[in-house]
Amino acid sequence: MPLRLLRSAGLVLAALMLTTIAAGAETGKSTGPSEFLLVAQIVLLIAVGRGLGEIMQRIGQPSVIGELLAGIILGPSLFGWIWPEAQAAIFPKTPEQKAMIDGIAQVGILLLLLLTGMETDLKLVRKVGKAAIAISIAGILVPFACGFALGEFLPDALLPNPQQRLVASLFMGTALSISSVKIVAVVVREMNFMRRNVGQIIVATAVIDDTIGWIIIAVIFSLASHGTLDIASVAKAVLGTLAFLAVSFTIGRRLVFQLIRWANDNLVSAAAVITVILLLMCAMAMITHLIGVHTVLGAFVAGILVGESPILTRQIDERLRGLISSFFMPVFFGLAGLAADLSVLRDPNLLMLTGLLVLIASVGKFGGAFVGGTVGGLSTRESLALASGMNARGSTEVIIATIGLSIGVLSQNLFTMIVTMAIVTTMAMPPMLRAALARLPMNKDEQERLEREEFEKRGFVANLERPLLAVDESVNATFAAHIAGLIAGMRGLPITVLHIGKNAKEQEKGRGGEESHEAVVKKAAEAVSANTEDDTGIVDIVTRARRAELGETIAEEARKGFDLMVVGIDKVVAGKDRFDRGIEDIAAQFEGAMAIVAAKGKHLKQPNPDGLNILVPVSGSSVSKRGAEIAVALAQAGSGSLRVIYVATTRDKGAQRGASHGLGQEAGILKDTSDLAARYDVDITTTLRVNRAPEAAILREIETTDVDLVVMGVDRIQADHLSFGGVADAVLRQSKVSVLLVSSGEARQAGAEQG
């Protein structure tokens, strides 16, 4: 049935093509490159490739295998063998027609490397860097030597140019030694082993493999371009590559971040950031071409830098990833499959050589990675899992083979052999890795780390990307800048300071002054580095000034993707149960989370304190947990103390005011907060006050302790004005110390008093 469907589809497309050509001939027009054929080719490659990719994923294989198989099915290996006339009509070998689809494939290569770079986690590489580097070197040297030796003994008939045997051997060695970081990462992620210790080492090693591989390919490409071992040209390529990498990961890192931020904040056209990312990719690809290496290295490095951008929003990431995965990947890998004619394997000699190639590739990579893992300090089981994971070639080898074929270093038969090896090793990797990982026990330290990471994944603070600080010229604004600096400094977040006071433009111009809000943010962020072991205190600060009505100004900034706004203005509250009009105007235009600062007590005299003594009320609700997260983060970032008090959040109308649900539940909530603090090495003091209204309990705790800041998680309550409930209002008005209200983005019905 599948063959009948394939034959029918080919017949329809061939008939349409012949009709188009006939119509062109009748009108006297040239039957040169056909747009109809190009679209038909793309439709077939995408439809069959994505369909088979779906099937592969359902049986536990990566989708790229389905896309490669689609090309093999549509190419001379199957379709061309069953019905050569129809296959030749749909995929003609005329240079003009072939150049059209090849152009799309070349762009696809760059985009695939961009995507691979975006998926590269340099923090992960740095974390397990020493072990991963040792493993990667051993895992590359052994199969590279095997592949190089195989290339030296290949018959002349398999080489397009026997005089370039050295370059062909280098290509063979590279193709056998490099793992596909994309395939490895996908399989490890699908198996939920990405955060396991061995999973991190596998992915980090694959990243290093890929990086080394593209540098090697860049050098080999330069070598192939000159035909002989030209020391000067190779030296130019090597030194140029090193200089390119050095500039990219220093000046380039900063430049890429600034360009993405500028596009996000200033351009109003659709998909402006994606446009900038694609331009960056093309520019860096052209730079690597100019220094004599392949464009893929520039695209790969561009992807790494883009992926490290602190404001690469998930939406932008998903849009770009969707375009590449749904269009360019099936076209590129489908064409790679089309170029591989597996019918040549009917020759017993070629079949034997292909089997030998697969064997050498598997044994060499498995053995090299296993030895590297043992030398790197891994256990036998961990080394087995590592060696199993590193044996996947997949997309990387196909790209390498495609480059070799395009520059005339590899013959059609050698290309087919390498593609076959990539398919076989990639399909064997998932079941081998699953079996090896299933036998790995989890030690206590690893389990604790995974539990902490799982908690952070669901947390509010750990997922912050861009805070916005809205301030006027008041003392309260200075204290808000200090708070915002601590929050941004914890993870090195870029922050925008928006001046909204009467002298906004003067404040913007004075951002370099020692007393400016920007200086306060910077000082607080730098203090984080001194109080924690992480080098996170450097933050990027951008200044904006109000140039319109307050609401309009906030609305304009809000569209730029901020996920937390810290507000510090002179007047916070107005009449009874009401916030000041300025606060209400700000809240009305910002739908995300807000942190409203009200400086009191000693912070009016010292708005930039050396430490904070924090009190946080908790109730077990999601909003109180958010307040607790902020409080713990501030305590970790600065020096001071943290006290936690349990408060009730509901009042049963028929029950006694302040009645509790039972001491067991209350103690459990306090313990949860204690565990949260313990994860960040923050010492806390807990208090349990019964038979008191929430606001009374909080105010009593303020009076009897030395706290100077109350952090409260609150919900917006649906009303005709901004409201966070009676508890928050009472504490905000009656507290003698500073208050920080951390609100969620959405309003809710007033059914409970918030704590």
N-terminal to C-terminal alpha carbon distance within the chain: 66
The DSSP result for 240-273, as a single string, is HHHHHHHHIIIIIHHHHHHHHHHHHHH--STTHH
| Residue 13 pLDDT exceeds 50 | no
| Residue 312 pLDDT exceeds 80 | no
Helix (H) or strand (E) holding 613: strand 611-618
| Residue 615 pLDDT exceeds 60 | yes
Share of the chain above pLDDT 70, in %: 80
Q: Total domain count for the chain? A: 3
Helix (H) or strand (E) holding 471: strand 467-471
Q: Is residue 13 part of a domain?
A: no
Of 2-11, 414-423, 463-472, the one with minimum mean pLDDT is: 2-11
Q: Is residue 317 part of a domain?
A: yes
Given 395, 418, 438, which residue is the final one in a domain?
438
Q: Residue 281 — very low, low, confident or very high, per pLDDT cuts 50/70/90?
A: very high
pTM above 0.75, yes or no: no
Residue 716: strand pairing partners: 747
pLDDT tens per residue, range 540-554: 888 888 878 888 888
Q: Is the dihedral of CA 40, 42, 47, 48 positive or negative?
A: positive
| Residue 668 pLDDT exceeds 80 | no
Question: 381 is in which domain, residue-wise?
Answer: 94-438
Q: Say yes or no: 191 and 272 in one domain.
A: yes
Q: Say yes or no: 483 and 594 in one domain.
A: yes
Most confident of the following: 17-21, 99-103, 706-710: 706-710
Q: Is residue 22 part of a domain?
A: no
The predicted pLDDT at position 624 comes to 82
Q: Residue 11 — very low, low, confident or very high, per pLDDT cuts 50/70/90?
A: very low
Most confident of the following: 123-137, 388-402, 465-479, 494-508: 465-479
Q: What is the DSSP letter of 573?
A: B
Given 438, 468, 487, which residue is the final one in a domain?
438
Nearest one of 258, 310, 375 to 536, comparing CA atoms? 310
Q: Say yes or no: 120 and 189 in one domain.
A: yes
Of 185-194, 468-477, 637-646, the one with minimum mean pLDDT is: 185-194
| Residue 751 pLDDT exceeds 60 | no
Summarize the confidence of residues 96-119 as an average pLDDT. 81
Summarize the confidence of residues 342-351 as an average pLDDT. 82
The predicted pLDDT at position 690 comes to 60
Token pair of 470 as six digits: 């809205």
Angstrom distance (rounded) from CA 721 to CA 719 = 5
Q: Say yes or no: 620 and 712 in one domain.
A: yes
Of 96-110, 427-441, 665-679, the one with minimum mean pLDDT is: 665-679
Q: How many other CB atoms are found less than 10 A from the CB of residue 719? A: 12
Angstrom distance (rounded) from CA 317 to CA 311 = 10
The predicted pLDDT at position 180 comes to 67
Q: Say yes or no: 236 and 186 in one domain.
A: yes
Q: Say yes or no: 632 and 663 in one domain.
A: yes
| Unique residue bearing structure tokens 């993405």 | 260
Q: Say yes or no: 148 and 232 in one domain.
A: yes
Q: Residue 28 — very low, low, confident or very high, per pLDDT cuts 50/70/90?
A: very low
Most confident of the following: 102-111, 666-675, 745-754: 102-111
Among the residues of 267-324, which ranges form H helices? 272-290, 295-307, 314-323
CATH number at residue 685: 3.40.50.620
Of residues 165 and 710, more confidence is placed in: 710
Q: Is residue 82 part of a domain?
A: no
Of 25-39, 115-129, 354-368, 494-508, the one with minimum mean pLDDT is: 25-39
| Residue 10 pLDDT exceeds 70 | no
Cβ density class 181-211: b for 16+ within 10 Å, e for less: bbbbbbbbeebebbbbbbbbbbbbbbbbbbb
Of residues 592 and 427, more confidence is placed in: 592
Nearest one of 678, 693, 686 to 632, comparing CA atoms? 678
Q: Is residue 745 part of a domain?
A: yes
CATH number at residue 310: 1.20.1530.20
The predicted pLDDT at position 600 comes to 93
Task: With beta carbons less than 8 A apart as the criterion, state whether 569 and 472 touch.
Answer: yes
pLDDT tens per residue, range 502-551: 888 877 777 777 778 888 888 888 877 665 555 555 788 888 888 788 88
Angstrom distance (rounded) from CA 396 to CA 178 = 7
Token pair of 113 as six digits: 């490397």
| Residue 620 pLDDT exceeds 90 | no
Angstrom distance (rounded) from CA 76 to CA 343 = 7
The predicted pLDDT at position 178 comes to 77
Of residues 1 and 122, more confidence is placed in: 122
Given 438, 467, 497, which residue is the final one in a domain?
438
Q: Is residue 336 part of a domain?
A: yes
Q: Say yes or no: 554 and 617 in one domain.
A: no
pLDDT tens per residue, range 461-503: 777 888 999 999 899 999 999 999 998 888 788 899 999 988 8
| Residue 331 pLDDT exceeds 70 | yes
The predicted pLDDT at position 304 comes to 85
Q: Say yes or no: 405 and 548 in one domain.
A: no
> For residue 227, how far is the Cα from the chain centroid?
39
Task: With beta carbons less than 8 A apart as the criterion, state whether 706 and 613 touch.
Answer: yes
User: What does pLDDT average to over the chain?
Assistant: 78
Of residues 238 and 667, more confidence is placed in: 238
| Residue 658 pLDDT exceeds 60 | no
Summarize the confidence of residues 565-582 as an average pLDDT. 86
Q: Is residue 511 part of a domain?
A: yes
Most confident of the following: 3-12, 115-124, 319-328: 319-328
| Residue 651 pLDDT exceeds 50 | no
Q: Say yes or no: 272 and 376 in one domain.
A: yes
Q: Residue 229 — very low, low, confident or very high, per pLDDT cuts 50/70/90?
A: low
pLDDT tens per residue, range 288-301: 888 766 677 788 88
Of residues 332 and 230, more confidence is placed in: 332
Q: Say yes or no: 590 and 695 in one domain.
A: no
Task: With beta carbons less than 8 A apart as the criterion, state whether 746 and 716 touch.
Answer: yes
Q: Is residue 89 part of a domain?
A: no
The predicted pLDDT at position 282 comes to 92
Token pair of 261 as six digits: 């931020």
Of 95-99, 118-122, 163-167, 414-418, the one with minimum mean pLDDT is: 118-122
The predicted pLDDT at position 532 comes to 57
Of 128-142, 301-315, 643-657, the one with minimum mean pLDDT is: 643-657
The predicted pLDDT at position 595 comes to 93
Q: Say yes or no: 471 and 381 in one domain.
A: no
pLDDT tens per residue, range 684-695: 887 776 657 888
